Structure formats: C-alpha cells, structure tokens
A and B are shown apart, each in its own frame.
Chain A
Amino acid sequence: MLLLPLSLALALPAGAHHSGAAYDRDKTVTVTGTVNSVEWTSPHAWIKVDAKNEAGVAVTWEFELPSPVTLTRRGWARSTLVPGDKITVTGAPAREHANIAIATGVIDKTGRRLFGGAADSKE
C-alpha cells in the first residue's frame, strides 16, 4: 500500500450522485490483491480486494466504482472483474474510514488498465 500526494485535487463531485468531500483527493492509495467480491449495484458498484498491509497482515479494502450504468456504457460487463482475480487498484481514500477508497484506476489480471489516469488516454 502506498500513500502518495496528488499534484492536483479536483473540486469535482466524486460520484454521480454525491459530492467528493468524503474522500481525500490529496492522497492516493494503491492496493494489489485478490478480488473478494463484486457488488454490481446502484448508485455505485463496489469491489472488495483482499491484500496485505505493510506489516503483512491480511486486510480487505473496499473500492467504490462508478455506477453499473456508467460502467456498462464504458464497456465493462458484470464479469469484467470476478472473485479470485489478481488486480491492482488505485484510489483516493475515505477521510473517516480505514480501508475504503474511491477507485481512480484498475489494472486487471491480464495487466490491462480498465480506467484511470493519462495512460488510458493512449488506448
């Protein structure tokens, strides 16, 4: 897990239906682990990722994703991520809660970036 400052924090809503104030956009967290579960639900999809922290202790991170409507329109399917997939997720952590973040980037089990950041714009 890495905590890095972001050079730019946007004053934008973090989600389709809420402001971004619950998340600290000045920080970023990167988690590599195994998909525990996928909640394909409105207003946001969520994925749980089993990983280990710096001390080697097992921890489950929860990442908020866009809504299934948005994901569908971006080409995701319900089966894009499934339990057991080894993935890396980047996100902005919740201010008041440990191990919860809003995803800004996902690299799937094949190494493909699913969304997030400048790298994807080259696709």
Chain B
Amino acid sequence: MDRQVRTSGLACAVAVVAAIGALAKPSDAMAQWVDYPTANVPRNADGTPNLKAPAPRAADGKPDLSGLWFSAEVLPECSEKDCIPQMPLPADQINIGRTLKEGLPYTPWAAKLVAERAANGAKDDPHAFCLPPNFPRAYSLPQYIKIAQMPKLTIVLHEFNASYRQIFTDGRPLPKDPLPAWNGYSVGHWEGDTLVVESSGFRDDLWLDLSGSPMTSAARVVERIKRPNFGSLEIEVTVNDPKAYTKPWTVTLHQNIVLDTELIEETCLENERDTALFKKEGGR
C-alpha cells in the first residue's frame, strides 16, 4: 500500500510513515524532542529518505530490525462530514484475519464469542480497559512500536502504557510451564535473514483484534520477521490455538519505518472514561 491514505478522495489525507513529521505542522514544534531527527537514514539524491535502500545490518551481520515502526495499512479515518482524527487506525485492528479468503477458522466456541462481542459493541475489549497491548494484536494498535535488537535479546517497546516485550535470542528453549502472560514467552533464532520468533505461555483471555477474535493459553505463535528494505518490515504471523481455531492460520502484517520522531508516553489509566460511557450510570 502506498504511504498515503486517501479517504474516498474527500477528506483527510494523512501521511503515515516517513512523512510523519509533516503531521506536526507548526514550526515552533520542530525543536521539540518529538521531532528529533533519526540518525543514519539512507538518502536519495534529493535528500528524501531512501526507503527502498537495503536494510541495515547489525554488527553480527544479521539484518537490524531496530527502529520505530507503525502499521503500513491503515483505514480511512474521515468522511466528508465526519472526522475524528486519531492516529491512523491499522486495518488489521478491526479483524486480524481480514486478508484470509475464508476468514479466521473459529471453533464453535470462538465463533459464539465473536458474535456476542459484535452484538455488544466490543464493550469488554481489554484494550478499552487499558490492559496491555498484547502481541500480535499490538502490531495493529494505533501507537508506534520500537524495536531494539541486540545479539542475544531483542526488545520491543510499545507506546501504549509504555509496555515492553522481550524476545530471547540466546538459544534458550521455551519454558515448559510458563506463567500466563499478555505477550507469552518468546524465543527467537535466525533463519537466513529472517528472525523466527516462537511464543507460548499466553493468558487465556486475549483479544487479537477489535472483533474480539480470541487467543487462549493453548496458543503457540510463530512470527517470521523480515526487513526487506530500509523502510519496511514483513511479519508473517502463524497462530496455532486449537481451542479457538479449527486449524493454524497465517497472516502477513506490514509495518513501515517512522522517522524523525520518538515514542511518546501514553498511559491509558491516566483518565480512562470511555468504558463508563457504555453504561447508563457513571459516565463521569
């Protein structure tokens, strides 16, 4: 998808990735830390970032996945009369299986759950209650992630709730009986230029998207992460969760580099009022 989102040719055209700095229009903001220039960006002759340049390499020769990233495929956010300007909303946020011809292969239990969640406006979405941004859902939330890759550990920071995820690449196995966690427990190894991340040990009550597609403690997740060029990440996600899905399924999520800015803290519990708005009482 192109790096510009057009909304039926009508309203907001929002640059998402390398041009994100353009969103902060006022020049008086340019000196702020949120506009701090990214180092070592390959440039075209005209000085613009060369997003198709080869991916950088780490000292150990592996592709370096480090950087600030955001979903490459986002939804139109405005119509002619109606605009609620948020961060561009990743398309995968609504339904992580949107690219699957047959849709996600829900078990009857999961299908019933998803139908209930659709009927009640997803009012029980853990994300709305400020609970952690669990991967792989976290790739499609409307905040940035930052990957910091080291030889034996890769850390993924998430803007929402200032969260972290660890991917151990020091050769350790997955634990036999991990504590249930929002991100599970992740170990990774390299296959050529692909970082293969295996995870288990998830909580039993996770949501993968706003539709409420569930993921349970039975899940094993494999992410195959590539950086085909400077400007993009490809993340092939395979979820094998026999409680929620009749068979393993795989989707490929795309992320784009975000330049010349930084993570900004978003601590959700600071002033969370929206869940109360679903109720007749207690809106304030």
Contact = CB atoms under 8 A, between A and B. Distances in A.
Q: Please say whether chains A and B are actual partners in one complex.
A: yes
Interface of A: 6-10, 12-19, 21-23, 25, 28, 39, 41-44, 46, 62, 64, 66-70, 72-75, 77, 92, 94, 96-97, 100, 102-105, 115-118, 120-121
Nearest to B261: A73
A67 B268 CA distance: 9
B266 A67 contact: yes
A43 B79 contact: no
Question: Interface size class for chain B?
Answer: 35 or more
Nearest to B79: A8
A39 B273 CA distance: 12
B83 A17 contact: no
Given A6-B81, A118-B11, A69 B143 contact: yes
A83 B24 CA distance: 23
Interface string B62-95: 0000000000000101111111111101000110
B10 interface: yes
A67 to B, nearest CB: 6
B271 A16 contact: no
Contact of B283 (A74, A92, A100, A103): A100
Contacts of B236: none
B27 to A, nearest CB: 10
A43 B283 contact: no
Q: For A6, A14, A39, A72, which residue has the most chain B Cβ atoms within 10 angstroms?
A: A72
> Looking at B20, B25, B82, B280, which has the most chain A CB atoms within 10 Å of its CB?
B82
Contacts of B275: 18
Nearest to A23: B277
Contacts of B160: 17
Contacts of A103: 84
Interface string B141-165: 1110000000000000001100000
